[in-house]
A and B are shown apart, each in its own frame.
Chain A
Amino acid sequence: MKSYSVLLVDDEAELVYTLAERLVFRGIDTAAVTDGNAVLNILDQREYDIIVLDVIMPGLNGIELMKTIKQNHPKIQVILQSGRGTQEESIEGLREGAFDYLVKPVDIDMLIKKMDQAMELSNR
C-alpha cells in the first residue's frame, strides 16, 4: 500500500483505465481521466500527489497543461509520458518542471519506481 495518490491523464481510454486498474491492484490510490481539459477542475475538487500526463492529447499541449498545474498546485509532481519520445520534447518537459519523462510503452514497475522517487523528493 502506497501513501500517495495518482491521477493518470491520457486520451487513450483503454490504456489509461487499464493502467489505473493495475495501479489500484498494487494498492495505489489512482484515478484516471481521458479529457486533459478536465484536469484543472478535478484538482479544484481534490488534490493528487502525482499526475502522470500524456504530452500529446487532442486540442491540448501536455507541457502547457503541466505549467498551469505547477502554477496552481506547486506541490504536485508531474511525470510526463509520450509516444513520440523525442529529445527536444523530453528536454522541454524537464525544463518546465516535470519530475521525469517516460516513453510509451511504460513498464509499470518503472513507473512506480519513478513515482516513489518523485514522492521522496516532495517529502524532503
Chain B
Amino acid sequence: MVLNDGNIYYGQMTASISHDINNVLAIVNELAGLQSDLLYALEDGGDIDPQRFAKAAEDIQKQVQRGKAIINRLNRLAHSVDDPISEFDLMTVLVDTVEIAQRLAAIRGVKLNCNQDNQLTVNSNRFIVQQGVFACLAIAYSSLNAGSAVNIDSGIYEAVVEIRMTSDSPGNAENLGDRLLVLSRMIDIIKGKVEQVMLGGDQLSLVLSFPHHITALTG
C-alpha cells in the first residue's frame, strides 16, 4: 500500500517533468528550424538579419540550460530511492518538488511560493520526504480556486522538521480526510505525520512533520 501510494505521486512527478522536457525540445525544434529557414533564404539570395540568427542561437543555449536544470531534477528524483536513509539538503528537495508541482498547479491557476531562507540538512528517506511534500502540494493546489497561492515554509523545532503549506485563500479539499489518511500511511515509514491546521478565513494549512534524524525506517 505504501509503495503504491508513493508510486502514484512518483508517476505524476515524472509525467510533469517529461512535459517540461517536451516543451524545451519543442522550442529548440522551432529555433533550430528558424535558423534553417534563414540559411535557406540566404542561399536563395534573400536579405536576412544576422542578429535574428544570433538571437536564435542564444535562445537555444538558454533552452539547453533550462533542459539541463529539469534533467538534474529528474536525476535527483530518480536517485532518491538509492538509499533507505541518507543525509540530504531539505531545501534542494523542497525547491525541486515545488518546481515539479508548479506546472500542475499552474494548470489550475494556482501559484506555489517556496520560502528558501532555511538551509537544513536532514537524515531520513529522501524519496518518502519528497513524495510527502508533493502529496501535500497536490492536495493544496487541487483544492484552491484560480488566482490563489500556496506558501511553503520550513523549519526545525526540537529535532522535528516542519514543512508548512498554507493557502492564501479558502480551500475546499474533497475527500481531505481520506487523502490525509493515505498520506499518513506513506510518511509513517519515516515516523512522520501530516496535520491540517485550522486558520482564520478557512485557509488551508497542511503541516508535514518528521524527525530530523532517523537511523531506521518503520515497518
Contact = CB atoms under 8 A, between A and B. Distances in A.
Interface of A: 12, 14-15, 18-19, 21-22, 25, 56-60, 83-85, 104-106, 108
A59 to B, nearest CB: 3
B22 A59 contact: no
Contact of A59 (B31, B63, B146): B146
Contacts, number: 61
7 contacts: A12-B23, A18-B34, A22-B30, A22-B33, A57-B107, A59-B107, A83-B22
Contacts of B34: 18, 21-22, 25
Contacts of A25: 34, 37, 41
B106 A105 contact: no
B26 interface: yes
A108 B35 CA distance: 13
Contacts of A57: 107
B42 interface: no
Contacts of A105: 22, 25-26, 28-30
Interface string B3-33: 0000000000001000100110111111101
Interface residues of B, number: 24
A85 to B, nearest CB: 8
Give the interface centre of B27, B34, B146 by most chain A CB atoms within 10 Å: B27
B107 A58 contact: yes
A15 B30 contact: yes
Interface in B117-164: 146-147
A109 to B, nearest CB: 10
Given A22-B33, A59-B146, A83-B19, A12 B27 contact: yes
Contact of B19 (A15, A22, A56, A106): A56
Nearest to B106: A58
Given A59-B106, A59-B108, A18 B31 contact: yes
A84 B18 CA distance: 8
Contact of A15 (B23, B41, B108, B147): B23
Given A14-B59, A22-B33, A106 B26 contact: yes
Contacts of B41: 25
B50 to A, nearest CB: 16
B30 A104 contact: no
Contacts of A56: 19, 107
Nearest to A104: B26
A56 B107 CA distance: 7
